[in-house]
Amino acid sequence: MQRQQRFNLFLDYFTKNFPEPETELHYSSPYELLVAVILSAQCTDKRVNIVTPPLFERFPDPESLAASNAEEVFTYIRSISYPNNKSKHLVGMARMLTEQFNSEIPTSVEDLQKLPGVGRKTANVIASVIFNQPAMAVDTHVFRVSRRLGLVPLTAKTPLAVEKALLRYIPKLLVHKAHHWLILHGRYVCTARNPQCFQCPLSPFCKYFATNVKIDVFHS
């Protein structure tokens, strides 16, 4: 099967069955989403959603967070992975927002990456979710699912290589949705361990299923 055909089948399925996907992080403003995404690095969305309500109550905007310090922020996010580093990043991010961006979240991936704690993946998430830009954030789920399905070649061994390969075939208007489709599929169906291949609606055109699962069944 040609790669373009796999993309067409993937996009067709989700467009019909899950047309309006959303992030599972809870937020009510671009600032809150930025904070939540920074906290979500190597941490579950469920844990982040537990931590952020009191954090946002104490720091409802960049100004209040910028006026604080890492020690105080730490007390709110101590149960998050890497709380020491993330506390420093959040305060630094808020201070740069207030001092250089008039407390407004930058719209470009390049400017977003200038903020402490914001790498390419986080910047792409903000650009995609808040501004509906054709930015593809590649986390562990996107990386795994896109390679298993055969949407990207196995030679794409870095997040950036996977990002570029996906953007070649996904229409710009669907990139921000495809990001969520891949993440959610990886989170609940195409899991790292014990993927639910026989319950997966994508198995008819999945390269992993064709080359691994069917063979295992045949020889069992």
Q: Which of 60, 10, 46 is nearest to 185 (CA)?
A: 10
Residue 149's CB: how many other CB atoms inside 10 A?
A: 24
Active-site residue, from 45, 46, 139, 177:
139
Supply 162's token pair: 């996977």
CA neighbours closer than 13 Å in the CB half-sphere of residue 8: 5
- Residues marked as binding? 190, 197, 200, 206
Nearest to 127 by CA among 172, 183, 82: 172
Per the annotation, where are the binding residues for [4Fe-4S] cluster?
190, 197, 200, 206
Output 117-121 pairs: Cβ under 8 A, ≥24 positions apart.
117/38, 117/85, 117/86, 117/89, 117/90, 117/92, 117/93, 118/34, 118/38, 118/93, 120/159, 120/160, 121/159
Query: 116: helix, coil or strand?
Result: coil
Given 12, 86, 121, 207, the catalytic residue? 121
- Told to judge if 139 belongs to the known catalytic residues of this protein, a careful annotator would answer yes
Active-site residues: which are they? 121, 139
